[in-house]
Structure 1
Amino acid sequence: MKSLRAYLTLPICLLILLGSLGVSYYVYKDTGHVVQTPNGDEANPLSFMSAAEYQRAEDYSRIKDALYFAGQGFHWVVLLFVLAAGLSAKMRDRATRIFRSSSLGQVTVYTVLFQIVVTLIEMPLDWYRHVVDVNYGVSNMTAEAWFQDNLISLGVDTVMTIPVIWLAWLFLKKSPRRWWLWMWMVSIPLTAFVIVIQPIVVDPLYNDFRPLQNQELKTKILNLAHQADIPSDDVYEVDMSKKTNALNAYVNGIGPSARIVLWDTTLQKLNDDEIVFIMGHEMGHYVKHHILWGFAGTVAGTFVMVYLIAVTFRRIVRWMGEHWHIEHVHDLSAVPVGLLLISVISFASSPLENYVERYYEHSADSYAVEVTDNPESGIHSFQKLARLSLSDPNPPEIVKFFRYTHPTISERIEYLEEQEKKQ
């Protein structure tokens, strides 16, 4: 007779789904947040949006936010399903049959199969998110382009995941007590490597980059860059208008891999002064070493995460391993357990991470005001950003708590208004 544990997975999945759907419904139906700024104030959405545009932005934001919480719970249920249905054990068996003596080969086969299975199960929800973006005019991507980007993401994620799983498997097998510490130590150079190679290796896989064609604007941006001691002699524009109507610009990379990038949508929708302000903000992250602080935060956060995983992973495997066909803690079929713990811990820690990120973003806004002396252009750029990206200027607190890595649009405009009055 099966023990009670064998029947626990289904009710746990149902509780997760009901909980995530409940939060999603609450977020979707939340009408408690109101426009908090006075009429006529530049931070008031109705000063730069029509009532219909504001309603549309709210509707879009609520749908996307609700889908985020629903998707989070669905992802956890998918991982539990892969375990409980024995799919993970079957993928392990297939990998060991193909590569009987090569641990790296086994990990490669398992990871490829696992990534394909999870991607296929979650694809309908991902597709619906894309449909929402298209229907609201935020995305211009064709179905073919969307599938192409997802295929690239699948390939990149799989290639980057294989060495991580392989190292964790080796450390668990060779050092059962201290595997998490070794894993943390290895994660430090891996994280730094990803930060360095992303601008020059990963990003070009998705989009076409070319030097900025507007020479006058390029000169203005590079003058700011030289003030900020950013080691870059070029500015890149990327063809994003075929995918989205949203605006963006960024400075990423470290040292020789640093890249100053503008989306072509930003070039089309903002004037030069507004673009210069946005670039001043992005360079503020570099000047104030937010990338390095972010790296340090990631290192510290990873230490806490792998320790918590080490404490819980072994207990879960011992408790439910028999019913999930997991033979021991360094069994490949236990991978979804580790990924589930990573996802849950990441979600639980997101409010703290978002709070720190919002502090960085406010600091970068302050730097942009300092170097451009033009807060009015910043106000106009944020207003256009909200209108074109359908960003809710005043989101519900729970959404800001779990999702917002930037201050709200209204908060950012209010700050710039204060700086403008001081001039």
Structure 2
Amino acid sequence: MKKFLKGVFLLYGIYAAIVISYFLLIADSSNLPNGYQGSAADPTTFMNDRQLELTYEYSKIRHIIFFLLTPFDWVFFLTILAVGFSVRFRNWSESVTKISLFQKGIYVFWLSVFTFIIMFPIDYISYQLSKSYGITTSTFVIWMKDQFIDFWLDYLFMVVLAIVVYALIKKYNKRWWIYAWVISVPFTVFLMFVQPVIIDPLYNDFYPLKDKELEEKILNLASKADIPAEHVYEVNMSEKTNALNAYVTGIGSNSRIVLWDTTLNKLNDSEVLFVMAHEMAHYVKKHIYMGMAAYLLISFIGLFIASKILEWAVKRFGQRLLIKGINDIASLPLLLLIISMLTFIQSPISNAFSRYLEHSADEYAIEMTNDKTAAISGFQKLTIAGLSEVNPPAIVKWLRYGHPTMLERLNFLENYDVKQTN
């Protein structure tokens, strides 16, 4: 195990050196493809020199952190297994109680606490980085509050996962993944239903739009899209960030379109209406349901593959790791490792599908508002507020972007009339 861990750390070190070298020395998102200079997508036309410099610096650092953290999770899970922490957590839980349900809860608690302790310095560095570039505005107290909410929500979901999955493994052995997927369908729908009314309010305050004049304009737009007015909400985000955002969440009677107050503060009414039309498109075009269907399909395939890899890995390495079998809770980090790796592998597919939906929403929004000027200026302001790259490296787009790049979005909008004529 020591030799194995040394090899893992060595490979991770080499990988980290490659990632850092690539983004600092090779990748260059400041150069636009030929033909885009001077267009609406050219950041030099709507950003000053200081904003450009901060954008390139911040983007490089964020990309490095992302590409270092993803395999870091895998190294972390492998270390927990190889050093024997997982087995110790299992033994501690079994020494406290003989009730399997409580054993799972205790095991997951120790695993969650250990994970929180290891990841806290990294999360804090990311928080300070975002704050130093003027993106995050949260005080340390507010940030810590969100960290603890994250911890307990993650713990709750992980306990449910552990109890259900390992009960199914114990009962059905090789077919557990099918029953786990079947149970995940109503569970996913339930989470989508309760998120807007129970989970989201834990982090922020939601309320109807305060600007009544703007509200009337949005209601008229919503009426054209046949959307109930109560689905439009404002959320207090200015105490946490300077970035702009809006999104659609929930399903059924709990579905709602949400605008950050930073978006309302920094965009004019025409720009806000385009953003609202974009979010209304998700509601009208049933993108939430399409996304849910895609997730369930991917999870079906993923659970099947994960079950096969888990069974093989436990047979191959279980004795060395002191894991008794696939129904041993000590194998949970191994299962999480497998799921994390499979999620990463399929991310280009899910991101591409998400980008397709987002582009479809852009098309709907410009057709509904017919205000190209507001759409372009709105996206440009969003780019400035978030210090977002206009033209990120291809690998970043594939693995990180669930939205089209700003180059693609702004170019589409600028040439919208031409495309419609053709």
TM range (shorter): over 0.9
1:8-407 alignment runs, 5 A limit: 8-33=4-29, 34-36=31-33, 37-100=35-98, 102-233=99-230, 235-407=232-404
Structure 1 residue 222 displacement after superposition: 2.4
Q: Which amino acid is 1:275 matched to?
A: V
Q: Which amino acid is 1:211 matched to?
A: P
Higher alpha-carbon deviation: 292-301 or 9-18 = 9-18
Verify the 8 A CA contact 1:231 1:258 in the aligned structure 2: no
TM-score by length of 2: 0.95
Verify the 8 A CA contact 1:79 1:337 in the aligned structure 2: yes
Higher alpha-carbon deviation: 13-22 or 362-371 = 13-22
Q: Which amino acid is 1:97 matched to?
A: S
RMSD: 1.6
Q: Which amino acid is 1:413 matched to?
A: L
Structure 1 residue 55 displacement after superposition: 2.0
Structure 1 residue 234 displacement after superposition: 5.1
Higher alpha-carbon deviation: 336-345 or 26-35 = 26-35
The list of structure 1 runs, each at least 4 consecutive aligned residues, that deviate by more than 4 angstroms after superposition, is 420-423
Verify the 8 A CA contact 1:231 1:255 in the aligned structure 2: no
Structure 1 residue 391 displacement after superposition: 0.1
Verify the 8 A CA contact 1:108 1:162 in the aligned structure 2: yes
Inter-partner Cα distance in structure 1 for 2:307 and 2:128: 39
SS at 1:261 equivalent: strand
Equivalent pairs, count: 418
Verify the 8 A CA contact 1:84 1:324 in the aligned structure 2: yes
Verify the 8 A CA contact 1:171 1:183 in the aligned structure 2: yes
SS at 2:415 equivalent: helix
Inter-partner Cα distance in structure 1 for 2:313 and 2:174: 16
Verify the 8 A CA contact 2:89 2:111 in the aligned structure 1: yes
Q: Which amino acid is 1:252 matched to?
A: T
Deviations 1:242-297 (A, max 9, x none): 11000011121111101121111001100011000001011111111111110110
- Percent identity reads 39
Find the partner of 2:3 among 1, 4, 7. 7
Residues 275, 154 of structure 1: CA spacing in aligned structure 2 closer, same or farther, 3 A cutoff? same
Inter-partner Cα distance in structure 1 for 2:17 and 2:183: 37
Verify the 8 A CA contact 1:21 1:69 in the aligned structure 2: no
Structure 1 residue 122 displacement after superposition: 1.3
SS at 2:258 equivalent: strand
Inter-partner Cα distance in structure 2 for 1:200 and 1:42: 39
TM-score by length of 1: 0.95
In structure 2, runs of 5+ residues without a counterpart are: none
